Amino acid sequence: MTTTEPIRVAVLDDYQRVALTFADWSPLHGRVKVDVFTETLHDEDALVERLKPYAIICAMRERTKFPASLLDRLPNLKFIATTGMQNRGIDVAYANEKGISVSGTGHAGDSTLEHIWALILATARHVVHEHAGTKAKRQLWQTTVPTGLASKTLGLVGLGKLGIKTAKIALAFDMNVVAWSPNLTPERAAEAGVGFIATKEELMQLSDIVSLHIVLSERTRGLIGAKELALMKPSAILINTSRGPLVDEDAILQVLQTKRIAGAGLDVFDVEPLPLDHPFRDLNNVTLSPHMGYVSDDNYKLWWSQTVENIVGFLDGVPQRPLRILT
């Protein structure tokens, strides 16, 4: 691909302003002009205004969505380089129909697994609350009683690769681990060394900690709603590092506001970044993180270096790591 003017590249949603420092972009010097954006836009008209000049867009996971309606309004777009080898925020099939190539990257380490346990431990042990009080020079030395994990029951909604790894760590804490998902069988649960639960309702009633490890789809949207949350123990904790819409946000907000359960650890939300005036920000029984489950230095080094490789491949007519179409 040749042109007299450098091809314009947009790097989107680089919240930490690190995309250009975690990789060597010199192979693209003189071939492209790179602009970096740190603010996520949700309004489609605003996105079109921002992105219309760009032939290449670098997407960070699903922070900015690319449905067919947006792709139709970006006439200059020829290539999307996204991080990871799956991105449900991009209509890959439609992009390909329009002649827009989409490439992804590999991943490094187990950052999501690490973050799951960071949230479980921080929430169960009230780390954020006690940290804030200690830093604020609170006179009362201790104000909360942590929840011990040994002998407690961890209920996994979903038992894929990540769920199995989460279970292994729970067993090291001497927890009981059970699992349920729409397609889980007793045999698969037994292979993973966890107890099989036949119904979602039973898992919600039995578990001291419920952690979600299931893919968001039209079938699983709102999987945990008011009815399910009402079944949880008053001492129970909900952990969500998967996708926000798996849980009815109004329902979990009401449960937390009324202290119907002990707390929650949330890394994902219906709208991201979480609006500044969102009620979650005012609660003292929820541990919040800004969708950092997949974020790590190791991942960023691999993602951005392979993003550069993918752009070079596109420019040279040698596609790298084409994204598969999800069904």
**CA distance between the termini of the chain:** 31
Of the chain, the percentage scoring pLDDT greater than 90 comes to 97
Q: What six digits make up the tokens of 151?
A: 């002998």
Distance of CA 48 to the CA centre of its chain: 25
The CATH number of 111-288 is which of 3.40.50.300, 3.40.50.720, 3.30.450.20, 1.20.1070.10?
3.40.50.720
Q: Could you tell me how many residues make up the chain?
A: 327
Strands (E), 188-327: 195-196, 209-212, 237-240, 263-266, 286-288
159-212 confidence digits (pLDDT tens):
999 999 999 999 999 999 999 999 999 999 999 999 999 999 999 999 999 999
Separation between Cα atoms, residue 55 and residue 72, nearest integer Å? 14
- Phi then psi dihedrals of residue 173, to 5 deg: -90, 10
Equal fold, 7-108+296-316 vs 111-288: yes
211: β partners: 156, 239
Kindly report the average pLDDT of the chain as a whole number: 96
Does domain 7-108+296-316 sit in CATH 3.40.50.720?
A: yes
How many degrees, rounded to 5, is the angle at CA 115 between CA 112 and CA 119? 140
Separation between Cα atoms, residue 163 and residue 215, nearest integer Å? 12
87-111 confidence digits (pLDDT tens):
999 999 999 999 999 999 999 999 9
DSSP letter, residue 274: P
35-71 confidence digits (pLDDT tens):
999 999 999 999 999 999 999 999 999 999 999 999 9
Contact 176, 195 (CB under 8 A): yes
Residues classed as catalytic: 243, 272, 291
Separation between Cα atoms, residue 257 and residue 279, nearest integer Å? 9
Instruction: Kindly list the domain boundaries of the chain, sorted by start residue.
Output: 7-108+296-316, 111-288
